[in-house]
Amino acid sequence: MPETIYLALLLVPILLVSMSIHEMLHAFAADKLGDSTARVMGRVSLNPLRHIDPVFTVAMPLFLLVAGSPVLFGAAKPVQVNFSRVRYGEYGGAIIGMVGPLSNLLIAVLAALAFNFFAPVGGLAFDILRLTILLNVGLFVFNSIPWPPLDGSRLLYAFAPRPLQEFMDAIERMGLLGLAIFILLFYQFIGPVILSVVQLLTSTLV
């Protein structure tokens, strides 16, 4: 079996599980902080079908893998949150936003602990743990970028002055189109920085 197909077969289930945990925790946090919108829409669920976006969840990571590029970018269907209902205002929104990336960091840490403890040398376990660490570190770093609709924008929003908040609101209303614009405009500049941070975190964990 060609290596790319083999890695893709491993990547897809790891990606779906990681994304489902990430999005479910967004929805769960929103529900606990006062907004039931995501729960009513069925997003407090580990079912990947509730969360996947065909382009950003599956096609883009697979394209990066086939192209030989690190799988640093990936996004699910955004969880709908009515932030006017959320307790603690903008700070509650920051909690909802960052719980997703932090779940990916936790998954990477747990996979790294397993990797370091069992020290697999080659084979299926080695590849699964390696991909789990790399993918989830990448998701943590990418989703922490403070650009709507990425999760890091909610953390920045909590501390930003009103004019910047209004600018971020305008971008967030564009949904995933805003993310596509960000990637097209800034990938060549920010891609190497993201890669450096991912490599640093990965080398620290493993």
In the numeric block, the tokens 């650009």 are attached to 147
Structural tokens at position 38? 């995501």
Residue 77: closest CA among 102, 110, 107, 45: 45
Q: Is the pLDDT higher at 120 or at 155?
A: 155
pLDDT tens string 55-100? 777 777 777 667 666 555 666 788 899 999 999 999 999 999 999 9
Q: How far apart are CA 146 and CA 157, in angstroms?
A: 8
* pLDDT at site 40: 94
pLDDT tens string 145-167? 998 888 999 999 999 999 999 99
Q: How far apart are CA 128 and CA 29, in angstroms?
A: 29
Q: In Å, how far are 101, 117, 128, 162 from 169, measured between CA atoms?
A: 21, 45, 38, 10
